Amino acid sequence: MFAALLTSARRFVLDEVVPLEHELMSIAWERALPVLETLRARAKALGLWAPYLPAVYGGLDMPLDQYARFSEVLGWTPFGHYVCNCQAPDVGNMELLLQFGSNAQRSQFLDPLTRGDVRSCFAMTEPEHAGSNPVVMSTRAVRDGDEWVITGHKWFTSSADGASFVIVMAVTDPDASQAHQRASQIIVPLPSSGYTLVRNISVMGDAGGGWASHAEVRFDSVRVPVGNLLGAQGAGFALAQERLGPGRIHHCMRWIGICERAFDLMCRRAATRELANGELLAGKQAVQFWIAESRIEIHAARLMVLDAATRLTREGQEAAREEIAYIKVFVANTLQRVLDRAIQIHGAVGMTDDTPLAWWYRHERAARIYDGADEVHKAVIARRALKPYLARGA
């Protein structure tokens, strides 16, 4: 059953989404939206919609290890996850609402999100503070009767352009003794009085739009009902951690899908591109080594991610914390190396938007930064490895 589903997803991606890639990547978001909506309707008809959601919400109820493999297939194209309604940040927000949302919150915010009627965003990172330390933030939410009043400044609020609501991290308990218990997550419908989308941030020359955007936003005394608090007061960091573990696995398998597409493109180019002397690129040892190294690294990355997904499913996120740190570092760097090799093999055309390689190179360089920079994960791994040795030494 699952194998047949993967086959159906591959055919859909290869036969119906990939042929429209160049058009979708070269026109404004507003013009691309009707095409994407048609593809979304097709994904629903094929039974590929919202693979991670419970069946009651129209999903396929996939366990994490199966969704990881499904995510790899969708990662073959920049639009695969969007057309199947499992793109970030919506997928993370749906998970939060499923796990922690009240019945009223699910009815108002989750239901239309699962149907694909609306989009959402998540606002945590602030330009004034290090994004790698989410317990430090200036955005405040103050209780005023039956309302929260939110004031703050956020950026890299992905997909804010056109979103119907934002889940915002804000400090509600500034005097809490534990830093991890000072912030809460609050749902803000959009548009709201006092909320401003300042700009879509240009990332390596591309400001994007709609779902493919990263916005700077401001909250100036934005008022929402107290019932819009997601989960318990002061539990914002704990909720964010619940979201991050599975989210990192989603990202990593999507990156592997990108790697497989880049690998396919580099092999096709090597097998067809003639040099000045009539020799094929594939005959050059340097090119052969790039291909071999890419094949090995992609295979290793896939096995690592599936292992982490299996452990997280069986034993929980805390038990799999180290494995998740492994894959976040290893797969992000594998992605960078494979894309770089593919561009090098393509030569000048690799720098153009005639293939998706340059688009991915611009947008996925952030893979080594978001959801925890490489250096943060390496520090966690090293501390855990050294802990027993330091204890014995003491």
Q: What is the pLDDT of residues 147-177, one digit of tens each?
A: 999 999 999 999 999 999 999 999 999 999 8
State whether 132 and 218 are in the same domain: yes
State whether 145 and 171 are in the same domain: yes
273: domain CATH number is 1.20.140.10
Give the per-residue pLDDT at 20: 96
Whose CA is closest to 157, among 129, 190, 121?
A: 121
State whether 273 and 204 are in the same domain: no
Q: Which uninterrupted H or E stretch holds 197? A: strand 195-200
Residue 135's domain comprises 120-230
Structurally, the chain folds into a number of domains equal to 3
State whether 135 and 188 are in the same domain: yes
- Residue 391 structure tokens: 């204890």
Give the per-residue pLDDT at 28: 87
State whether 209 and 324 are in the same domain: no
Stretches where the chain sits below pLDDT 50 are none
Tell which of 101, 132, 163 closes a domain.
101
Whole-number Å distance between alpha carbons of 163 and 213: 11
State whether 194 and 94 are in the same domain: no
DSSP-derived secondary structure for 105-170: HIIIIIHHHHHTS--EEEE---TTS-TT-TT----EEEEETTEEEEEEEEEEEET-TT-SEEEEEE
Look at residue 106 and tell me if it is in a domain: no
Whole-number Å distance between alpha carbons of 51 and 60: 4
State whether 203 and 280 are in the same domain: no
Give the per-residue pLDDT at 81: 97
Give the per-residue pLDDT at 136: 87
State whether 178 and 291 are in the same domain: no
Whole-number Å distance between alpha carbons of 123 and 143: 19
Give the per-residue pLDDT at 133: 73
Tell which of 49, 70, 101 closes a domain.
101
Give the per-residue pLDDT at 394: 60
State whether 244 and 376 are in the same domain: yes
Look at residue 107 and tell me if it is in a domain: no
Q: Which uninterrupted H or E stretch holds 215? A: strand 214-225
Q: What is the CA radius of gyration of the chain?
A: 22
Give the per-residue pLDDT at 179: 83
State whether 281 and 349 are in the same domain: yes
State whether 292 and 246 are in the same domain: yes
Q: Which uninterrupted H or E stretch holds 195? A: strand 195-200
Whole-number Å distance between alpha carbons of 152 and 169: 10
96: domain CATH number is 1.10.540.10
State whether 94 and 140 are in the same domain: no
Q: Compute the C-alpha angle 195/247/264, nearest 5°.
A: 115
Whole-number Å distance between alpha carbons of 345 and 339: 10
pTM score: 0.93
